[in-house]
Structures are given as structure tokens and as C-alpha cells.
Amino acid sequence: MNPTQPTWMEYPPSLSGRDCLHLSEYTPQEIEALLSLALECKEKHKRGEVWQPLLGKTLAMIFDKPSTRTRISFEAGMAQLGGHALALDRNHLQLGRGESIADTAQVFSGLVDGILIRTHRHRDVEELADYASIPVINGLTDLHHPCQALADLLTLKEVKGNLTGRKLVYVGDGNNVLHSLAEAAAHTGMHLVAATPPGYEPQGSILAKAKEIAKQTGATITCTHDPMEAAVNADAIYTDVWASMGQEEEKGKRERDFEGYQVNETLIKQGKPDVTFLHCLPAYRGLEVSREVIDGPHSVVFQQAENRLHAQKALLMMVLG
């Protein structure tokens, strides 16, 4: 195939030039197009096809938080698509000396084709997008993790096929991963049940947006404090760390508060016989998940991690193309 004439041009161009700050900005049809393109990316990659629709494009990546899967998936993805990625941190930018986000956004807009940012405050990403004239992609904030959710959907689609009507159970902290997972489930017609300890529920305003999307697809989103009840007849069970980056000082308290919320063999047996286990990684065996589950036959966590590459390639092609 001639890399200058990619088949992805057949996909709807509605995301071209747009930001990806959270998945509620997109429509179910746009999410479906992203997943279809991600599957095509993966198939071509496995066949060793050279596919370079982003030849000459540059992505600036700002990291205020440590990163393994986000950095590698975007950096490798840009290279495979013929583009280039610049990995930067605040201390190596004038941001670290007090230059405003607004000025940084406008400078970047004249130098590169897109910005990926992984940071703490979601408002900082929104401000960057407000002032940038190029697409801004949220690589993780305290409120949202849309790139992870796209890989989650891709993995579930590979393992389960049609996602409509599937029961997806999340056990653990009502954090950024759950927020984006709720939006992802709403877009694809899944029934999400979130089981969190009291005081660790997801943010109500974000769930409200997801429920508005759910009205279009027949999805449902419910919350409970009972993980065993939530897991009954689950098609997939998902968890995340109990203490995210920046919450290390709360680790001891959280371990006490999350007692009874570990995804172990007893909880897994509540799901369907072919229940799938997901985790965005890194994982702490013996805390949020038992070793028997994450390293057992139900786990697809490394397929999920690999799919970060292909989901992110699809996103890059759609917003930078």
C-alpha cells in the first residue's frame, strides 16, 4: 500500500482538528469510528504493513506525571505513523519558570501539529485547549483518562465482540479511570455498575453527562457500595489502584477503607464463567487484585496495555489527519 493514500480517509472526518479532553465531547458514532480504525491499525501492524498517514506531523508531549503506557504508546504510535513525538516535562519548558499556559499554548500552536499533556489539574488541560489552535489530547488528569478508556473499549470489543448490553463492573476508587470508563460504557450501550467504598464515589456531574449519552444507546450507569452484589453476572470486571499518583500519603488509610474491595477469586466467581478481568496498570498484587486473578485465565491486562498503542494511533490519525 502507498503510505500517502491510507484507507483511513474513508472514516468520517468529524474529529479532525478537535481536542480529546474527555469522551463526553464525542458521539457514539465517533467512538465507533475510532474503534474501527484502531482495529485496522492493529491488523496492519500485525501484518507488518508500513502505514504513514502522519508523515511530517509532530506531536509535543508534556508530562507532569510519570508515564509508561501513555508515553510509549504515543511516541511509538507517532513513529509508526510516520510522524515525530517530542517528550517534554515542565522542568525543561519555560512553564517551569512561570510562563503562562496561554502563552505556551500559542507558541506550541506555531511549532507543532498537536499537544498531548499528562498532568494533575484538569483545568490546566482545558486552559491549554482554550488557547491552542491545534488539537490537545488529555493523556491523564485528576478527572479523566480518555485514552485509557479507548484502549479498554478496544480490548473488550476484541474479547467480547458486540459491546451493547454487556455488563461491565468497576470495583475500587471513583477516580479518573472510572469517570472515563462511565463515558465509554455510555457510548457503547454497556451497563456499568461501579462499586466503591463510602466516600470514594465518582463525581456526580461527570456521571450525569455519561447518563445523558446513555439515553442514546440504551446503556445504564449505576453505583453501589457492595462489590459482591455488583459483580453478579458480570461480563467484565475492572479495577485500578487504591492510591493514585499524588495520593501516596493516603495509602494506609485507603488500604483500610478499601478492605473488602479486592478483586479476587471469590469476587470473580460472581461473574459469568467467561468473565474478563481488566486493569489499567500499574497493579499491586495483594491489594486491589489478587495474584491469582491478574495472572490467571480471566485476565487480559497485557492485551489491554498493548491496545493503548493501537487506540492511540487511531486517535492521532483522526484528530491530526
Give the list of residues 6+ apart from residue 318 with CB closer than 8 angstroms, or none.
11, 15, 16, 33, 34, 37
* 121 assigned binding-site residue: no
pLDDT of residue 13: 64
pLDDT of residue 198: 98
Nearest residue to 89 via CA among 114, 118, 112: 118
Pick the CATH number of 7-144+308-320 from 3.30.420.40, 3.20.20.450, 1.10.3860.10, 3.40.50.1370: 3.40.50.1370
Q: What is the side-by-side strand order in the sheet with 276-279?
A: 220-224, 191-195, 167-171, 236-239, 276-279
In this structure, CATH architecture of domain 148-304: 3-Layer(aba) Sandwich (3.40)
Looking at the predicted structure, is the pLDDT value of residue 164 above 50? yes
Looking at the predicted structure, is the pLDDT value of residue 90 above 90? no
pLDDT of residue 2: 43
Span 71-91, average pLDDT: 96
CA distance 142 to 119: 8
Span 255-269, average pLDDT: 98
3-state secondary structure of 136: strand
* 176 assigned binding-site residue: yes
pLDDT of residue 86: 98
CA of residue 106 relative to chain centroid, distance: 26
pLDDT of residue 45: 97
* 276 assigned binding-site residue: no
* 147 assigned binding-site residue: yes
* 266 assigned binding-site residue: no
Indicate the pLDDT class of residue 321, thresholds 50, 70 and 90.
Answer: confident
CA distance 101 to 296: 45
pLDDT of residue 97: 82
Evaluate whether 136 touches 118 at the Cβ level (below 8 Å).
no
List every span in the chain annotated with CATH 3.40.50.1370: 7-144+308-320, 148-304
3-state secondary structure of 220: strand
Q: Which residues are catalytic?
A: 118, 145, 148, 240, 280, 308
Looking at the predicted structure, is the pLDDT value of residue 248 above 90? no
* 69 assigned binding-site residue: yes
* 141 assigned binding-site residue: no
Q: What is the pLDDT of residues 209-226, one digit of tens each?
A: 999 999 999 999 999 999
CA atoms within 13 A on the CB side of 263: 37
Percent of the chain exceeding pLDDT 70 equals 96
CA distance 258 to 100: 39
Indicate the pLDDT class of residue 4, thresholds 50, 70 and 90.
Answer: very low
Give the list of residues 6+ apart from residue 172 with CB closer than 8 angstroms, or none.
178, 195, 196, 239, 240, 241, 242, 258, 261, 288
Looking at the predicted structure, is the pLDDT value of residue 9 above 70? no
Span 111-124, average pLDDT: 97
Does this model's pTM top 0.85? My answer is yes
Measured CA to CA in angstroms, residue 206 lies from 4, 20, 142 at distances of 40, 16, 12
